[in-house]
A and B are shown apart, each in its own frame.
Chain A
Amino acid sequence: MQNNSFYNEILTEHNLHPYHKHGLADANLELEGVNPSCGDDIILRLKVVDDVIVDGAYEGEGCAISQASADMMLDLLIGKSKEEGLRLADIFSRMIKDKISDEELEELEEAGVLADISHMPARVKCAMLGWRTFREMVE
């Protein structure tokens, strides 16, 4: 039996007590991301000034992985440029679909706790929901 070690304290904390799950009145980018087969649904909002993500938030519902992943993503993205954000999105995507270096894992900070998702193919789309929505939004 595989072990779902990704249900750790960091993940459950981000799911139950998210920092970024709220509205964002002065957002200038907004996109809904949905995983129709599981009902995961988020609305991601960003405030981008001179290509820098100065603030971000999300609202929605879904499994612990989809929600916590979106929250950890915003921890990383806020304060970074769009380019830098896309680079991190690429690292995250490679982490849960394949493998990344230890240096890259370090860059993902807490989001790195989702590395083991790669053993559970059905949950990859949950972890990717926030990042996928971010990519679609800024690309």
Chain B
Amino acid sequence: MQTEERRQQDHKIRKDFPLLTEDIAYLDSAATAQKPETVIDAEAVFYKQYNANPLRGLYQLSVEATNRYEEARECVRAFIGAASTEEIIFTRNATESLNLVAYSYGMHVLREGDEILVSIMEHHSNFLPWLQVAQSSGAQVRFVECDGQGRITEERFRAALTPRTKLVAMTQISNVLGCLNDIALFARIAHENGAVFVADGAQSVPHIPVDVQALDVDFLAFSGHKMLGPMGIGVLYGKRALLQQMPPFLYGGEMIEKVTRTGATYAELPHKFEAGTVNAAGAYGLQKAIEYMQQIGLETIQEREAFLTQYAYAKLRETPYVTIFGADDPAEHHGILTFRLEGAHPHDVAAILSDSGVCVRAGHHCAQPLLQHLGVSSTTRASLAFYNTTEEIDRFVEVLQTVRRKLGHAE
């Protein structure tokens, strides 16, 4: 694509995002994405036009609210290629989705002697729930590690599986290394081994096409806020046969069929897992986010993000004193560049970048086992989305090159 054409595309996209102005270079989309106007407005539209408690009112407004909520569910179903809306459960975020699987599936199915296999690169949200399950059930947590390039090879994966492995928890894209794990392959091998496969899609669903039936995962968790949607709405996809045999996660309103003094029967899927008044406005906002992504086009999103990642990787690579973690090939980074600047603590790097409006994340990125594996206690991470520009990356690298001097190092 020609530079001029790209500039026009930049402008066309960025005018949709009120917060993306000249004042900041927002390079923290792996933490949360910026929101287009249509998503920001959606929650107001819901509360102005459709607000009623969904799923139980017998008056027209409540029916409207229910329709918006269920249309959002259908939109999510189609977006990830699920077989049925019964398999789409709205939660608060990926963390809650993963806890739901851990508590309603893991706690009830896993036994002493069973093994849970997690990858070393899991976000704490796809690790700590499994540690809890292990501690309660007597099952053991085992790790599959990545190589120096951040790759989990088939060989490593097969070697980590044992006949006792009953559950595999793995992220599709690492929030630190940016690498894409071959979930379809690993899910197939896990199934041959008699294990269920739980995928964390928090970093993948916002950036690449994800089809749960093609991947054949048993569960997939992701957050709305990382894919242009509002905070406080997330999704759990689960295969119907598994969801049906699982007990509810939270008990209370809107998830029951019949309650007596001594017991209850529970609602059908997916409502069995959606206790209490739901975040219908958030779901409506998430639908608007998905529609916005579709309007931009997933191909355009991928093309722009691949181009920007390549551009940023090359610039960072030629910056003195910088070490980038993960693969040497920028195509394997999916918008995520985690690095160290020699002689500068990541928190100082982020603070100095912040003076020039450059927003990056510094710390352990909620993946401490991985950082221990990499031999560092903290790093700086720049993460990109399709709405970023080469100008923002230039500004980031330019300021980064002044950090050592600002910290008193002689050049």
Binding site for B on A (CB under 8 A): 1-4, 7, 9, 12-13, 15-16, 37-39, 41, 62-65, 120, 122-123, 126
Residues of chain A contacted by B347 (CB below 8 angstroms): 38, 63, 65, 122-123, 126
Contact: B378 with A1, CB < 8 Å?
no
Residues of chain B contacted by A9 (CB below 8 angstroms): 408
Of the residues A2, A39, A64, contact of B364 by C-beta under 8 Å: A39
Residues of chain A contacted by B345 (CB below 8 angstroms): 38, 62-64
Residues of chain B contacted by A123 (CB below 8 angstroms): 347, 351
Contact: A2 with B354, CB < 8 Å?
yes
Of the residues B23, B351, B363, B409, contact of A4 by C-beta under 8 Å: B351
Within 8 A of A (CB), among B345-363: 345-348, 351-352, 354-357, 363
Contact: A16 with B408, CB < 8 Å?
yes
Pull 6 A–B residue pairs with CB atoms less than 8 Å apart, ordered by A: A13-B408, A15-B408, A38-B363, A38-B377, A123-B347, A126-B347
* A1-B355, A38-B345 known, 4 other contacts, Cβ within 8 Å: A3-B355, A13-B408, A37-B364, A64-B407
Instruction: Please tell me if B12 contacts chain A, counting CB pairs below 8 Å.
Output: no
Of the residues A7, A37, A122, contact of B407 by C-beta under 8 Å: A7
CA distance A38 to B365 in the complex (A): 10
Contact: A1 with B357, CB < 8 Å?
yes
The count of residues in chain B whose C-beta lies closer than 8 Å to any C-beta of chain A is 20
Residues of chain B contacted by A62 (CB below 8 angstroms): 345
CA distance A3 to B354 in the complex (A): 8
Of the residues B351, B357, B408, contact of A12 by C-beta under 8 Å: B408
Contact: A7 with B406, CB < 8 Å?
yes
Binding site for A on B (CB under 8 A): 23, 344-348, 351-352, 354-357, 363-364, 377-378, 406-409
Residues of chain B contacted by A3 (CB below 8 angstroms): 355
Min CB gap B63→A, angstroms: 46
Min CB gap A121→B, angstroms: 12
Residues of chain B contacted by A64 (CB below 8 angstroms): 344-345, 348, 407
Min CB gap B365→A, angstroms: 11
Contact: B351 with A120, CB < 8 Å?
yes
CA distance A4 to B378 in the complex (A): 20
Of the residues A12, A13, A38, A65, contact of B378 by C-beta under 8 Å: A38
Residues of chain A contacted by B355 (CB below 8 angstroms): 1-4
Residues of chain B contacted by A13 (CB below 8 angstroms): 408
Chain A residue nearest to B23 in the complex (CB):
A1
Residues of chain A contacted by B352 (CB below 8 angstroms): 4, 7
CA distance A12 to B20 in the complex (A): 33
Contact: B348 with A63, CB < 8 Å?
yes
Per CB-CB distance, the 10 closest pairs between chain A and chain B, nearest first, are: A12-B408, A39-B377, A63-B345, A63-B347, A39-B378, A64-B348, A16-B408, A4-B351, A63-B348, A4-B355
CA distance A126 to B23 in the complex (A): 27
Min CB gap B320→A, angstroms: 17
Min CB gap A69→B, angstroms: 13
